[in-house]
Amino acid sequence: MNWVFFALAAPMAYAFSEILAKFFLEKKVKNGATLLSAISIFRIIMAVAILLIVPISFFEISISSWLLVILLGFAAFAHYLFLLRGMEKEDASTVVALVFVFPVFVALLATIFLGEQLSPLKWFGMVAIVVGVILASIKKFDKKIIFSSVLGLIILSAFFEGIVEILDKVLLSEMNFWHVSAFTYIFLSLFSFSFLLKKKNFGDFKKFVGDKKILAFVGLKELIAMGGFFAFLIAASTTDVSVVSALFATQPFFVLVFAIISTIFFPKFLKESVEKKTLLVKIVAIIFIVVGAIIISA
């Protein structure tokens, strides 16, 4: 069953990509917007490559679709920006677990705007995800419960990811997958580059990408993410997309595993709390999130 290998390789690749993002934010640059601008360099390159390989006439696209594409690019930009802002202050394993509340937003938005119906089982899945997110966001358990300070940022990130998923569905009725992806990358990057209009931000960006080794590692991060993207497509082409999407929900688990391995064996690269109580809560939270996401995707 080769599709299983690719279906699991996708969340593993994306998980490692997120670990690299956390490394950059912890060791090399403190500003998520600067990192997003650097990532956008490679997104633009990918977009141009796609449009050269799979050309399209811009006049074939309706005005309404262009407006939706711009909105899609902004939603993707907002998703990544809030995600990276949250990762500036919080563990990667916690951030990725929290952002997987996005299937709840997808389900609700699809019900409102696309007229899709939610079965009782899917409502149960949504409740499971919410319970998992609440558990994952808890920072202290002593005299009173304290939640992660980035919870609001990550909820916003998840909300915009939900918008991305809905707009993808709408636009795929007029454009193919590759063109939607290319235009998303282009407008995401344009919104990201808008931060560089501020002199300080441009200075930070220039210093960050001026280091060729760092830029190469950012490129490696994007290459790994692209590998996950293709692994997902290969798996989805050989079995039901719902099954592949369900397995993709294991991404928070892989992020946690990579974070633990790094903490134990490579603490200078990335270090997170591996106390038994903390790990137990994270594992239980991720189980709720993954099970809920699988139920919604089924």
Separation CA 20–CA 14 (nearest Å): 10
- Of the listed ranges 66-80, 100-114, 240-254, the one predicted with least confidence: 240-254
Residues β-bridged to residue 146: 140
Who contacts 221 (Cβ-Cβ below 8 Å, separation ≥6)?
17, 20, 21, 24, 39
3-state secondary structure 74-115: HHHHHHHHHHHHHHHHCCHHHHHHHHCCHHHHHHHHHHHHCC
What pTM value is reported for the model? 0.94
Q: What is the pLDDT of residue 13?
A: 96
Reported as a single tens digit per residue, the pLDDT across 79-105 is 999 999 999 999 999 999 999 999 999
Q: What is the pLDDT of residue 217?
A: 92
pLDDT bracket for residue 8 (50, 70, 90): very high
Reported as a single tens digit per residue, the pLDDT across 266-281 is 999 999 988 888 899 9
How far, rounded to the nearest angstrom, does the alpha carbon of residue 134 sit from its chain's CA centroid?
A: 19
Q: What is the pLDDT of residue 142?
A: 64
Residues β-bridged to residue 140: 146
The answer to whether 103 and 164 are in contact (CB under 8 A) is: no
Copy the structure tokens of residue 31: 């500003």
pLDDT bracket for residue 239 (50, 70, 90): confident
Q: What number of other Cβ atoms are within 10 A of residue 196's Cβ? A: 17
Percentage of the residues of the chain whose pLDDT score is greater than 90: 72
Reported as a single tens digit per residue, the pLDDT across 125-173 is 999 999 999 999 987 666 677 888 899 999 999 999 999 999 999 998 8
Q: Please say if the pLDDT value at position 212 is more than 80.
A: yes
Q: Please say if the pLDDT value at position 259 is more than 90.
A: yes
pLDDT bracket for residue 264 (50, 70, 90): very high
Domain boundaries, the chain: 2-297
Per 3-state DSSP, the chain is made up of helix, strand and coil in percentages (nearest 5) of 80, 0, 15
Q: What is the mean pLDDT of the chain?
A: 92
Average pLDDT over residues 188-216: 91
Instruction: Please count the CA atoms within 13 angstroms of the CA of 128 that sit on its side-chain side.
Output: 19
138-140 and 146-147: which strand pairing? antiparallel
Phi, psi of 56 (to 5 degrees): -145, 145
Average pLDDT over residues 64-81: 96
pLDDT bracket for residue 1 (50, 70, 90): low
Average pLDDT over residues 29-49: 94
Q: Please say if the pLDDT value at position 107 is more than 60.
A: yes
The rounded radius of gyration (Å) of the Cα atoms in the chain is: 19
Reported as a single tens digit per residue, the pLDDT across 185-197 is 999 999 999 999 9
